Every structure is written in C-alpha cells, then in structure tokens.
Amino acid sequence: MATVLYDTGINPSLIRARRVAVLGFGAQGRAQALNLKDSGVNVVVGLRAGSVSRAPAEATGLSVAEPAVAVSKADVVVLLVPDEKQPKLYADIIAPGLRKQGALIFAHGFNIHFKRIVPRADLDVILVAPNGIGEQVRAQYLEDHGVPALVAAHQDASGRARELALSYAWAQGHGRAGIIESSFREEAETDLFAEQAVLCGGLTHLIQAAFDTLVQAGYEPEVAYFACLHEVKLMADMIFQHGIAGMRESISTTAEFGDYTRGPRVIGEPARKAMREILAEIQNGQFAGELEQELAAGLPAIKVERVRARAQLIEKVGKTLRERMRVRGRSG
C-alpha cells in the first residue's frame, strides 16, 4: 500500500524561497499560479504579449512577463501548457534560459517518461500531478481543503528535489487531502490508461452504445438521454461520496441486483482483454507514437471524430434538453 503524506513534516520555506515562473494560464495554470501567490510564493506567469490570457492573468493581480523573461529570472519553472507544446517550449526558452541548478516542474509525466523532453542534467525535474481539474485545485484551496496529488523526482541534481516537490505540493493545498509518492512512469501510464479505458474513451462509448440500443429498440431519444447520460453525474457523485460498494447499497434493490448480474456481461472478459491490450500499447510507447503522428499530420483523426460526434442524435437531443433545463433553472 502506498504511503499517503500530509502537510505535517513538509517544509513550506523551500518553495517560498524560490522565484517561480508558471508557463501557461489555462485551468491548471491559473489555479496553480493563484494558489502559489496566496501561499506566499514569489510567482510570475509567463505569457506572450499577444496572448488572450494576458489581460485575465493581470486582472487577478498576478505578475506577468514574456515567457523568456519569466524563465530567466526564475529558480523554478512550472510547465503547464498542453503536452504537445511543451517540447518546443522547453527547447526554445527553458533549456537556454533557466539558470543552472534550477528546477523544472511538470503536472503530467508524459513528455519526460516518453522522452519527448530530455532535460539538462543540472536541473531538478519534478512531478506534482493534481488528481483533479484546475477549477477544483483552486476551489478546494480556497475552501481550506485540497485535491490529492502524486509527486515524483525524475532528476535530483540538488539533492533536495523530493523536498521541493513536497513543498510545492503544500503550496497547492495537496497536503490537506493527501500526497502519494510515485514516478513519472506510473503517473503517465495510469493517467493515459484511465483516460482511455474509463474517464473518456470507456465512459463516452458506453453511454453512446446504451443510448443507441434504446433508440434502435423504439424508445424515445429524450427518455434514452436521461436514462443513459443525464443520470451518470448522479451516480458518479454517489460513488465519489460512498465508494462503489456504498453506492450499490444506496440504490434500489432492483438496481443493485441488475448491477451484480448484468454488469459483468457488459464489462466481461472481452472488455478486460481490450483493457490489457490498451495498457500494453501505453507501456510500450505505441500510443505515444500514434499521438505524435496525429499531431504532426495536423490532427486528421481528431477532426473527423469531432464532426462525427457532433452529428450523433444524442448530441442534438442533449443540446436541446440542457438548454431547456438551464432556462427552467433561471426562471425558477
């Protein structure tokens, strides 16, 4: 069993003594930069002069500078731009600009584990990966809570990389919820697998297949939408609060019996075999290679699938129902 660490024993002064440059101001960049600021850390956000994020960042009271300037003045650089943009940003700005014996922090292990980025040997290379979206990283921090996180040190040039990782995690509020020591490999592979098998690929295709099954059997699309998609959030909330066993004990006897007796037929050995194959493709680098080809070609498969997804009946029905629910909610 993994050891879960909390704020006790973490040294906040390590990160507070550093000048931190956050590159990127999406959901994670905004949340982490503001959390650092509120934790008493000297932080600057690196954004180009023409970036649409520059004005919103300045409006929060954060210091903003050109990425190269921010990096040149920093002891620690936090790389929070999309994965596909990180290698060029590292090569063009970070590698030549970050001072010797500096530190580089990632929120995802992909580029380090799959060697899309090979950092300078003098740098501490650290992972602090929140187990939550950026909005929750910020919201939980403001509520004096936090989201859990994984931490790891890929390179320990200073001899204090682990301590710095924990200190940075403290500044994000992760120590209030729990910090698990991991590795870039473990974080990258489990994150990709969860996305593909459950959170994105598995869940969305399960919902689509169930919706299609009901509609093709003659049931009204609106009824199928509420039964197969809308209620997913309610069940996810129950699982979040009570775990899988607790959720099952909270639902009707009819639903619980159906879970035990029919669920294994939907997620049976063929599905488990597919999961093992997907995990192997992640571990051996096949998925990373396919993704690299997709990016180099200009995202042709993604563009086709986006169009296909928008054309599905579940999207048309769902858009109408969600708009009606929002209007009803405002008028109520």
Cross-strand pairs, 22: 45, 78
Domains and CATH numbers, the chain: 4-182 (3.40.50.720), 200-267+299-331 (no CATH)
- Catalytic residue among 108, 113, 154, 174, which? 108
**Residue whose C-alpha is closest to residue 67's, from 32, 29, 116, 24:** 24
- In this prediction, residue 1 carries a pLDDT of 77
Greatest extent of the chain over all pairs of C-alpha atoms, in Å: 67
Handedness of CA 309, 301, 188, 112 (dihedral sign): negative
- Predicted local distance difference test score (pLDDT) of residue 91: 97
What's the whole-model pTM score? 0.89
Per-residue pLDDT of the chain (332 residues; tens, 9 = 90+): 778 899 988 999 999 999 999 999 999 999 999 999 999 999 999 999 889 999 999 999 999 999 999 999 999 999 999 999 999 999 999 999 999 999 999 999 999 999 999 999 999 999 999 998 999 999 999 999 999 999 999 999 999 999 999 999 999 999 999 999 999 999 999 999 999 999 999 999 999 999 999 999 999 999 999 999 999 999 999 999 999 999 999 999 999 999 999 999 999 999 999 999 999 999 999 999 999 999 999 999 999 999 999 999 999 999 999 998 887 656 55
- The dihedral over CA atoms of 135, 137, 141, 147, expressed in degrees to the nearest 10, equals 130
| C-alpha pair distances (Å), 98 with each of 54, 216, 330 | 22, 58, 50
Long-range contacts, stretch 210-219, CB < 8 angstroms, 24+ apart = 211/313, 211/314, 212/314, 215/313
Tokens found for residue 275: 């999961």
Residue 174 annotated as catalytic: no
User: Distance between CA 181 and CA 179 in Å, rounded?
Assistant: 7
Transcribe 134-194 into DSSP letters: HHHHHHHHHTT----EEEEEEE-SSS-HHHHHHHHHHHTTHHHH-EEE--HHHHHHHHHHH
Cα–Cα distance list, 316 to 221, 233, 246 (Å): 10, 19, 34
Do 86 and 117 contact (CB within 8 A), yes or no?
Answer: yes
Sign for the pseudo-dihedral over CA of 177, 181, 184, 186: negative
| pLDDT for position 329 | 59
